[in-house]
Structure formats: C-alpha cells, structure tokens
Chains A and B, each alone.
Chain A
Amino acid sequence: MSDGVVDLSLIDLALVYGLVLFVAGLARWNGIGQERDLLWSSLRMIAQLLTVGYLLKTVFSLASPVPVLLILLVMGGFAVHAVGARVQERMPRFHRVVGISLFIGCFGATFFFCTLVIGLTPWYDPRYLIPLAGMIIGNSMTGASLAAERLAAEMKERRLEIETSLCLGANARQASAEAVRGAFRAALIPSINAMAAMGIVFLPGMMTGQILSGTEPLLAVRYQIAIMCVITASVAVTTFLILIFGRRGFFTRAHQLRLDNFTK
C-alpha cells in the first residue's frame, strides 16, 4: 500500500466495534430500543464486507478477466432485480427493457472511462474496474427505478392529456412527450442535486477514500469530477433508453394507449 496509510489492526477494529456495543448497551439500558437492529445490522455489515474483502483479494491475485467480468455481471443482475423489487407500477416487458437499458448505459460509460480515458492496463484491472463500475451501476440503478416508476405513473396521471392528443392527431411519441419529459426530470434530479452540492454539503466517498489512502487531494478531486461526469452520463443514457423503449409498451401499433397494461 501507499506510504501514508496507518495500519488498522484487529485489536483496533475490536475497540471501534466496542463503540457499537456501547451504544447498543445504552439503548437497552434506557429502554429506547433498536439495540437488536443495531447489533444485527452491524454483524451483517462485518460479514458482508469481510466476504467482499476476501473476494476482492482473491480476484486481484488471480490476474484474469473472467472473475472480474463475473462480478460485474452479478452486480448488473442484482441491479435489474433491485429495480424490479422497488418499482410498484411496472411497464410492459419490464425486465427486458430495464436490463438492456442498464447494460448499454453502464457498459458504455464504464468502457468509455476505463478504456478510452484512463486506459487501464490490463484493461480489466479489478482495482479500478470493480469500484468504478460499482458506482456507475449503483447510481444508474437508482435512476432506472425512478424513471420506470415515474413513467408508469405519468402515463396513468396524464391519460386524459394523452388521449386528447391522440384524438387531435398526435402519434404515440407526440402524445407521450410530456410524460416522458416528466419521468426523465425525476430520474436525473438525484444526479443533478449531487453534482450541485458536491464539496459543499458533503465530501464524496470516493474522493475521501483516495485522500485517506494517500492520494494527492487535487488528483482525488480530478477523479471525483471524472466519475461524477461518467455517472451522470450513464444515468442519463440508461434512463433515456428505459423511457424510449418503455414508452412503446404503453401504446399499440395503432397509436392507442393500452388500458390493460397498468398492472404489476
């Protein structure tokens, strides 16, 4: 590791975990509750992070693209599943639309950044590829959920507007333009807010992590700016594709709004 990093031993870790135990004990003693959840979630965190740590250590040492791609694939699959679990009102052909859109958006943004911009060697270098792709997929997943959720809601809320437009000669694309715009806006708001607040309201995690591990602050800032741009692009592309593919599912080929498709 880099020179400036202070080692954290298991004893140090035990001391820190003592804080959680202390807080849990305090909660118990005062009868304000939550101590079970506190302990359970802290244990889950330890187990999950240790697993990830060992997994990454193994993958780093293997120096082969196969496990790296496998991990990315699992992350992507999990993202599609998570979007499906979060969205109540599903559009037609939900999983296919979300899967394809996430894949194109995230793969495109990650490839652009890792290969064309920073030029990783080897191209699959897991130290960069896994955390960067993780951030890109995670943010795109949030955008995808918002877009899918809002699109279905907008289609429902704007039914009168959409059908009035159809009656007046609009095609499906024209009739649903406002609905798509509303959904796009909703999906991009988190990225826009995050960019606007960055550095003032909070110091972003990746930058903080790089600084802690000894990276020169200005370089860490550059990385943060780059990753935010890439994330925003990925979110926008994913969302845009979901809306464009998704919108079709709400109409028949005869420019009719499907009434039976507002289902789970």
Chain B
Amino acid sequence: MGERFEPRIVVFACNWCSYAGIDLAGVSRIKYPHNVRIVKVMCSGRVHPEMVLKALVDGADGVLITGCHPGDCHYISGNYKTMRRYLLLRKLLRQLGLEERVRLEWISASEGDRWAKVATDFVEHIRRLGPLRLKEVMSAE
C-alpha cells in the first residue's frame, strides 16, 4: 500500500456567512482536514458553474460551494440563485459522472463546528471516491 490519498478540494465561501464561519472554526481551534483550499467571494451567487468545472479540470478532486442559509443572504437572494445554478450544474455533472464530486452546503457565520464537520465529511467522501485525474486525462489527449 502506498501513501494515503490526500484529495485536493477547492471551496467557494461567501464573505458574510461561510467565510466568517470558517474563520470561527479557526478562532475556536476546531481541527479539520488540511485538504480544503478556500476561495473567497462576496456572495455564493457570484460562483459561475464554469469556475466549478475549471477547478475539476485543473486538478481538484472535489469542489464545495458554501453560502448563507436560505433566508439569510446578505444580498437578499444570492443563495437562492446559487441553489438553482447548482441544481442545473448537477444535471451536467451527472452526465459526466462527476455528480458526487461537487456539493453545496449552507454554513452560517456562527457555525464553525458545522463547517469542520462538513469539511471532514466531504474530504472523507472524496477520499473514498479516489483521485479524479481529470487534468492528466485532459492533457494526455
């Protein structure tokens, strides 16, 4: 057996809820796997599906989109837009067999512990799925 597979995960986090929640996990010293890499956006509604695909194509094994809970969006309705885009994106991902590698989660600014749990679960989930290697496949052609 070789080394344990360490997935590479890109996380989109909105400034007002999720990024603050992830910060809170830090302030509270709640440990979670190191595999996650946070990209800050002002609102999860800014995340274009192409950005998610780009992450997978360029080497990420999984992508997590996080935003405020429904009804809590700092910009009134950004997270509802995120949800609709995510559901459409999932249809496409299903065709590609990548459905399992992208997830949408709501993390509030007070949910540092919930973030740690979401991150841990997702890293474990992707670890079970194994490496994606989309980058290698694409560059081989």
Whether chains A and B associate is no
Which A residues are closer than 8 A to B by beta carbons?
Answer: none
B binding-site residues for A, Cβ under 8 Å: none
